[in-house]
Amino acid sequence: MKRVHLAFIGLLFLPAVSSAQNVFDGTWRPDPQKPGATEKPDVFDLVDGVYECRSCTPPYKVKADGHDHAVAGSPYYDTLSVTVVDERTVLKTAKKGSQTVAETKNVISADGVTRTETQTVSGMAPRPFEFASTFSRVAPGRPGSHLMSGEWRLIEADLTHHDEDTTYKISENTLKMSDHFGRSFSAKLDGTDAPYNGDPKYTSVSVKLIDRSTIEESDKKDGKVVQINRWSVDPDGTTIHARFDDTQGHIQEQTGHKLP
């Protein structure tokens, strides 16, 4: 699953589909996210009053003065403010227009080797939801920079209140998906396009049945495939495996389990 940062890309248990025998029917909960084999570390610079995220998509650089600054290229936010609270704490607030869409608090441990991030996201679901993530330091920042600077690798990330629980129902060769974020679609299992609702990153989706327990989902923006997800259910019927490919060379895998 994709970890959600300010760009909200990463970090979510995106919907998928199933088929014959309805092995996908039910509500599924993703396991806490672990780093994928190909996942690259977060890379930050915070020095001389300027904050830069070199690993973000797209990368950006803004003054760390607590004021809103324009950031281009994200469908989720267009301004960002960065506030240095103290030598170990940094706050970030992202807005879309005048609406706050994400508030993120990063705290570096006293020994400087662990980063704890909590992020509250608004406007993507009927109520705000929160992510909690921990990271280990891979490399230090430049001399004289804030402790936030450097390279960080994910240890574990999860939604605090399980907002990512996703429900599937198959009927008449059509898969219906919905989750607590407000995302949903109803797509035929023959690969034809259907509307994707509730996420500005996608406008349509198509689903193909690979075999009775495997499906492939293609998420699209204005007709262009931007992410390919493959979902497979184990013979026990309670464990699901997901593979996410953003078509840009970033591939991640995650597991989940069916709720009773």
Residue ranges for the chain with pLDDT beneath 70: 1-21, 36-37, 124-127
Q: Alpha-carbon distance 139 to 20, whole Å?
A: 48
Q: At 101, list the tokens.
A: 């869409």
What's the confidence (pLDDT) of residue 181? Answer: 76
What's the confidence (pLDDT) of residue 160? Answer: 74
| DSSP-based three-state secondary structure for 212 | coil
Q: Alpha-carbon distance 241 to 260, whole Å?
A: 18
What's the confidence (pLDDT) of residue 158? Answer: 82
What's the confidence (pLDDT) of residue 19? Answer: 37
What's the confidence (pLDDT) of residue 5? Answer: 35
Mean pLDDT for the chain? 87
| DSSP-based three-state secondary structure for 7 | coil
Q: Taking a C-beta distance cutoff of 8 angstroms, is the pair 186, 178 a contact?
A: no
What's the confidence (pLDDT) of residue 194? Answer: 98
Question: What burial class does residue 167 get, using C-beta atoms within 10 Å of its C-beta: 0-12 exposed, 13-18 middle, 19+ buried?
Answer: middle
Structural element, H or E, at residue 147:
none
